[in-house]
Amino acid sequence: MNFRGGLPALILQNLSRGPNHGYVIAQDIKKQSKGVLDFKEGTLYPALHGLEGKGLISSKTREENGRVRCYYELTQKGKKALAKEKQDWEAFSGAMNFMLQEAT
């Protein structure tokens, strides 16, 4: 499954634990969701670039094992955006849970 709308929040959450590069961000999300959320490069990198364009994350390149990797890091603005995303998700998921329980 690919829930593209939630990807920016998942990226921000991942980066709240420290800088990371795209491949590891995707693998962390897949692992933590037990394979349910599996974002491919065509979805992940545009989301990273969009977050960077909004100033929510920053990037730096560094060499690692002979390869140049781009590491992303959460900015102060990104930390605030993540807090808002979490608040919005709590409200949304609470309402959905309530509505779905009503249906049974």
Q: Where are the domains of the chain?
A: 4-102
pLDDT, residue 5, reads: 67
How far apart are the C-alpha atoms of 78 and 3, rounded to whole Å? 20
Pick from 21, 25, 11: nearest CA to 85: 11
pLDDT, residue 64, reads: 84
How far apart are the C-alpha atoms of 52 and 5, rounded to whole Å? 17
**Which alpha helices (DSSP H) does the chain contain, by range?**
7-15, 22-32, 41-53, 76-102
Q: For 37, which DSSP code? A: -
pLDDT, residue 1, reads: 37
Question: Tens digit of pLDDT per residue, the chain (104 long)?
Answer: 334 468 999 999 999 999 999 999 999 999 999 999 998 888 999 999 999 999 999 999 998 889 999 999 999 999 999 999 999 888 888 988 999 997 65
Pick from 78, 101, 61: nearest CA to 11: 78
Q: Tell me the CATH class for 4-102.
A: mainly alpha
Question: pLDDT tens digit string along 31-61?
Answer: 999 999 998 888 999 999 999 999 999 999 9
pLDDT, residue 2, reads: 39
Q: At what angle do helices 7-15 and 22-32 cross, to 10 degrees?
A: 100
